[in-house]
Structures are given as C-alpha cells and as structure tokens.
Amino acid sequence: MSDHAEHAHGGGPVAPSHSKIVPIRNLVAVWVVLCALTLLNLVLDKVHLHGFSVVVSLTIASAMAIVAAMYFMHLRYDHPFYLTALILVIIFIAIFISFSAHDTLQYKSQLIPGQAPAMVQAAQRTNTAAAPTAKP
C-alpha cells in the first residue's frame, strides 16, 4: 500500500473501517424477540410468583438489554471484551438491586401506619403466620 493510500487528506492516518451492515431481517427478528420478552414480562407480572417476581422481571429486563445492545449497538460484531463488560455490569447492577431490595425487609416494623397499607398488611400476615400457636 502506498503512503498516499494510508493517510487521509489532512495528513493523519486513516482509521480502519469496522462497520458492519446488518440485514433488515436480523433487526426485525431482534425486534420480535424484544416484543416477545416484553409480553412475557407483562404476562408474568399477572402471575403470583411467591416473591420471585422482581427477580424474574430483572432477569427478563437484563436479557432484553443484552439483546438490544448486541444488535442495535453492534456489540455482537465488535470485540468480545465490550459484550463481556456489559454483561458483568448488568450482573453487578442486579446484585446491588437485590441487596437493596433485601434491605427493605429490615424496616417493615418501622412503617408509619397509613403510609403503606399493603406493606403493613403483608407484615401482619407474615407475623401471624410465623407466630407459634399457644397450647394450654
């Protein structure tokens, strides 16, 4: 390659082109997957999962974020380090959210009456279910 081909008109080196043209059918397929995951999230929101609804919702949202980033941000065609970094960040965010959600259970007894009636009722149901029955 000649020196003229390696340099731009300004005299500096030309950045290599790493662009990837994604076919429309791939983008439509990704859109369909994201819509299906959204519908799954809505359906599972109506189902009582016994305390796992937040975990399931966060898992589905994380999967949607990863799929969107892989195709719409072209991470699938880039260096694998970037996708690995994104997945690790999402995992750490999920861990921190789960820690803060777990921490809210410690303050149920300090709720102001009338401020969170659903939480008060849930705490009362938990307390009555956990209380041992007295025998004469």
The predicted-structure confidence for 46-101, as pLDDT tens digits, reads as follows 888 877 888 888 889 989 988 988 888 888 888 889 888 888 988 898 888 878 87
Higher pLDDT, 82 or 115: 82
Tell me which range, 28-32, 116-120, 123-127, is most confidently predicted by mean pLDDT: 28-32
- When comparing pLDDT for 27 and 4, which is higher? 27
pLDDT, average across residues 24-36: 93
Asked if 38 and 57 count as a contact pair (C-beta separation under 8 A), the reply is: no
Judge contact between 108 and 51, C-beta under 8 A: no
CA 96 to CA 128: how far, in whole Å? 31
Query: What are the Cα distances from residue 30, in Å, to 2, 44, 56, 95?
Result: 42, 21, 21, 27
Backbone angles phi, psi at 12, to 5 degrees: -85, 170
pLDDT at 114: 65
